[in-house]
């Protein structure tokens, strides 16, 4: 038996379902099969039509040949990534999450660039986004480490959390309270599965230690897990390469809000934000040291990735601009 209201079910958005149809939420997808949570328990259903992912709300029926998915209901939020190097609108990682937590581990050293990229995906999903510094028990001063990471990504709040000691778990528990869904996203070995186990109160996801400074793939599938007395948490496989989907533009703007504000102050609306741009507020901030070159370069890369997915011609222009910028910097260095 599953309390669908606890998982966030609020009724059909467009009236009643056809006779014999009933609601459910996708817990797990395994190739051509999915696990569906319904008011009467779990069902295993063969997939034959529209693709689904963990977190989807659907309508199903039971006929002469067993259970069948009839309709995928509209998604309130969708965490979408693109396969790097492929021309695709994106792959849905999780659906209908209220909060997406980007999980970055204390060990190995947190990576600001990866964090920015994942944060852009989180904001683009339409859900609330937050950042978790996992395995905080392995750091001598996790609060200082979190503050250092916050300084490298302006406007960011980082929450140190330990699945071992329980410190900070309350922050995540609030995001998967009754009727709410929390999705976890991060690199392999970041500690997502351990956080799921801590929230659920028992081992439900496999975990493994990091070897040689690299995360090991433990979760190889997406899974929505109900939280006792609360809502649900979605664990996702570790992402080694994260491509920006066509829909990620707004997420990039949110993750780099400080640069977006600077760009709005440029003298020209079509400013390219390079050394030749007269009256460019972004370049001025770089020269004054108020904007880190690493962060500026990361912003340009993500904007390029979005352009690749959105407009092939814009992608070619962006690539040409990157090479032009490199030539300008080499010439500039050669003068001194």
16/111 same-domain check: no
Domain count, the chain: 3
Out of 201, 235, 269, a domain closes at: 235
Q: What CATH number has the domain bearing residue 11?
A: 2.40.50.140
Q: What is the pLDDT of residue 323?
A: 73
Least trusted range by pLDDT, from 32-46, 55-69, 227-241: 227-241
Q: What is the mean pLDDT of residues 249-264?
A: 88
Check whether 85 has a pLDDT greater than 80: no
Same domain, 194 and 269: no
- Tell me what pLDDT residue 216 has: 46
Among residues of the chain, what percentage have pLDDT more than 90?
A: 54
The answer on 328 and 266 residing in a single domain is: yes
Among 48, 73, 98, the domain boundary falls at 73
Q: Is residue 241 included in any domain, yes or no?
A: no
Q: Which of 39, 73, 107 is the last residue of a domain?
A: 73
For residue range 166-196, what is the model confidence (pLDDT) as tens digits? 999 999 999 999 999 999 999 988 999 999 9
Position 6 in a domain: yes
Tokens of 85: 């190097």
Domain with 34, as residue range(s), is 1-73
CATH number at residue 141: 3.40.50.300
Extract the tokens encoding 84: 């790097």
Place 324 in a pLDDT band, splitting at 50, 70 and 90. confident
Residue 271 inside a domain? The answer is: yes
Q: How many CB atoms lie within 10 A of CB 189?
A: 24
- When pLDDT is averaged across residues 127-155 and rounded to a whole number, the result is 91
pLDDT score of 302: 86
Helices (DSSP H) in the chain: which residue ranges?
112-124, 142-152, 169-175, 192-200, 249-255, 257-264, 281-288, 293-310, 312-334
Q: Is the pTM of this model over 0.85?
A: no
Is the same domain home to 295 and 158? Answer: no
pLDDT at 241: 52
Distances (CA, A) of 129 to 109, 154, 255, 307: 22, 15, 10, 23
Does one domain contain both 106 and 168?
yes
Query: What's the pLDDT score for residue 240?
Result: 53
Q: Is pLDDT at 336 greater than 60 in this prediction?
A: no
Confidence of residue 207 (pLDDT cuts 50, 70, 90): low
The per-residue pLDDT for 217 is: 43
Shared-domain flag, residues 110 and 218 = yes
Strands 232-235, 223-226: pairing kind:
antiparallel
pLDDT in the model for residue 316: 59
């Amino acid at each position: 038996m599953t309390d669908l209201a606890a998982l966030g079910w609020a009724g059909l958005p467009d009236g009643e379902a056809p006779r014999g149809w009933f609601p459910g939420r996708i817990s797990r997808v395994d190739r051509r099969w999915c696990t569906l949570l319904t008011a009467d328990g779990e069902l295993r259903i063969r997939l034959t039509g529209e693709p689904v992912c963990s977190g989807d709300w659907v309508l199903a029926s039971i006929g002469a040949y067993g259970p069948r998915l009839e309709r995928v209901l509209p998604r309130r939020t969708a965490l979408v990534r693109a396969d790097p190097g492929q021309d695709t609108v994106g792959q849905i990682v999780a659906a209908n999450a209220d909060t997406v937590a980007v999980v970055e581990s204390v060990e190995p050293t947190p990576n600001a660039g990866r964090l920015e990229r994942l944060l852009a995906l989180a904001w683009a999903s339409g859900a609330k986004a937050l950042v978790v510094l996992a395995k905080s028990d392995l750091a001598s001063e996790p609060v200082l480490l979190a503050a250092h990471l916050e300084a490298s990504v302006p406007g960011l709040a980082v929450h140190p959390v330990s699945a071992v000691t329980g410190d900070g778990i309350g922050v995540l528990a609030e995001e998967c309270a009754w009727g709410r869904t929390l999705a976890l996203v991060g690199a392999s070995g970041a500690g997502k599965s351990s956080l799921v186990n801590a929230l659920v109160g028992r081992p439900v996801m496999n975990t493994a230690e990091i070897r040689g400074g690299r995360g090991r793939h433990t979760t190889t599938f997406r899974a929505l897990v109900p939280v006792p007395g609360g809502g649900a948490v979605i664990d996702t496989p570790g992402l080694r390469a994260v491509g920006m989907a066509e829909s990620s533009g707004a997420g990039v703007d949110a993750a780099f809000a400080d640069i977006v504000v600077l760009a709005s102050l440029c003298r020209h609306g079509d400013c390219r934000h390079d050394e030749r741009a007269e009256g460019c507020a972004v370049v001025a901030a770089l020269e004054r040291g108020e904007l880190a070159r690493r962060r500026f370069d990361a912003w340009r890369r993500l904007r390029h990735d979005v352009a690749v997915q959105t407009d092939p011609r814009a992608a070619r222009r962006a690539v040409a601009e990157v090479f032009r910028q490199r030539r300008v910097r080499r010439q500039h260095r050669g003068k001194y």
